[in-house]
Amino acid sequence: MGCCESTFSKGPRTEDNKYHRRNHNQHHSHSNYHNLPSAIPPPNGTDSGASGAIATGYVGVPGFSEFSLADLRAATNNFSSDHIVSESGEKAPNVVYKGRLQSQNQNHRRWIAVKKFTKLAWPDPKQFAEEAFGVGKLRHKRLANLIGYCCDGDERLLVAEYMPNDTLAKHLFHWENQTIEWAMRLRVALYISEALDYCGTQGRPLYHDLNAYRVLFDENGDPRLSCFGLMKNSMDGKSYSTNLAYTPPEYLRNGRVTPESVIFSFGTVLLDLLSGKHIPPGHALDMIRGKNILLLMDSHLEGNFSTEEATVVFDIASQCLQYEPRERPNTKDLVATLAPLQNKPDVPSYVMLGIPRHEDAPPTPQHPLSPMGDACSRMDLTAIHQILVMTHYKDDEGSNELSFQEWTQQMRDMLEARKRGDLAFRDRDFRSAIDSYSQFIDVGTMVSPTVYARRSLCHLMCDQPDAALRDAMQAQCVYPDWSTAFYMQAVALAKLDMHKDAADMLNEAATLEEKRQRGGRGS
């Protein structure tokens, strides 16, 4: 059953389309929080960016959307040179801008990175949209995720999460106050190997021109791999823009990038982490052949590293840089070798980087709260339970008309499962309620937003906020403007310590509720 399939039969419903339009127009930060089925098909034809959002694989990232050129002009102050964040500035063949999406709600003004391709880099809009869509399906905490794209005339742009704390190259080669400590370098190596491994498991093993400029640091100082390298700079362009000394030998022979080529490039990043300099791999290997690894190590570390750990990292780098691609390790080997080297797992990245801690003060609600809103703002699960019991199924009215032919034995069994769930829910037997409501949902003949909301609360009562968030989102998909679905998402997000998103969601729920009070369905 699809995320936004809110009907008992298989035909589309206008509410689904309304949900898609709403999501597309607003680009809210909560558009998709978890790993739900795709809500839009891959692009085809000239209508390459269907409105809506595709699934996300981890909490807190908006779904993939098509942006208008006007959206991105406004976000970047008409692509002002003051907003350029590319290392080479305006001289780069494809410039990256920092921007902020405009929104009527100030809490939803998300920072973004916009990559603007050269004219006619991708002449076929369909091909560009399909490539972007493929990358946009990826969602992982080790990636700076792609959240959208734009095709407008000759313009081709990608939109990604913005990473505010510079690149690995800046921290390694051009640092001002302090170099990266050894434990943080090990963390970078592991996190980027995890990102590459994830991309490989999702069918996107190729990464173009992996280097220290592609490693970015997020608001918490955690290293992430830029999603931009998962697409080439142009349809027929080169995959490597760096000096030939850093290019995989097989790419020089045949001009093709393979998964093994990516491993070679990862080896050059490991050498950067060891040396604090961008040394050509051949030169680095010659430097210590038969000598001490200390000759290679970054002198700015001042000896504050484990020689044993450094030797393991160098050995991995040497394997990655093997001339024959088949002799290089795979990403799972890299993760398995680097994970045991982590020696400060409890120290936050921002501490090791020496940057301030990122804190967002949760905004105060902008609308008066109803009893449901007040209970959700206080995360009073008992009060929420009482309200849902009293509300019963009145918000499902008009959603459950069934034809005579649908009154099969299966239907009767399904409704009996819902009845058992209701009794367990009333009696606060939340695990039994989850089981019974799941039986009702799994049949798929009939969809009830109230059942999703009730099961969401059951998951919260059982300390399962991830599952609670998924159910609350499903309730929203079934009934896009139902404030209760937004309220339940707010509670689940708060339980996941995403307090700013929770406050945003609470405001949105209150806004919807205010509209309902002036007439319309539900509450």
Three-state secondary structure readout of 55-96: CCCCCCCCCCEECCHHHHHHHCCCCCHHHECCCCHHHCCCEE
Answer whether 255's CB lies under 8 Å from 382's CB. Answer: no
Classify the phi-psi angles of 202: left when phi > 0, otherwise alpha if psi is within -120 to 50, otherwise beta: alpha
209 belongs to the catalytic site: yes
Active-site residue (options: 16, 209, 272, 422): 209
Nearest to residue 434, comparing CAs of 448, 420, 414? 420
Q: What is the CA radius of gyration of the chain?
A: 26
Classify the phi-psi angles of 157: left when phi > 0, otherwise alpha if psi is within -120 to 50, otherwise beta: beta
Our measurement of the distance from residue 264's CA atom to the centroid of its chain's CA atoms, rounded to an integer in Å, reads 26
As given in the structure block, the two tokens for residue 21 are: 């339009």
Query: Distance (Å, rounded) from C-alpha 369 to C-alpha 130?
Result: 43
Answer whether 174's CB lies under 8 Å from 213's CB. Answer: no
Answer whether 60's CB lies under 8 Å from 141's CB. Answer: no
Answer whether 376's CB lies under 8 Å from 495's CB. Answer: no
Query: Distance (Å, rounded) from C-alpha 256 to C-alpha 397?
Result: 58
Opening angle at CA 225, ends 223 and 226, nearest 5: 125
What single letter denotes the amino acid at residue 235?
M
DSSP SS3 for 366? coil
Answer whether 304's CB lies under 8 Å from 182's CB. Answer: yes
Query: Distance (Å, rounded) from C-alpha 30 to C-alpha 486?
Result: 10
Answer whether 248's CB lies under 8 Å from 266's CB. Answer: no
Classify strands 146-152 and 65-66 as parallel, antiparallel or unpaired.
Answer: parallel
> What distance separates the 2 farthest-apart alpha carbons in the chain?
84
Answer whether 103's CB lies under 8 Å from 186's CB. Answer: no
Catalytic residue IDs: 209
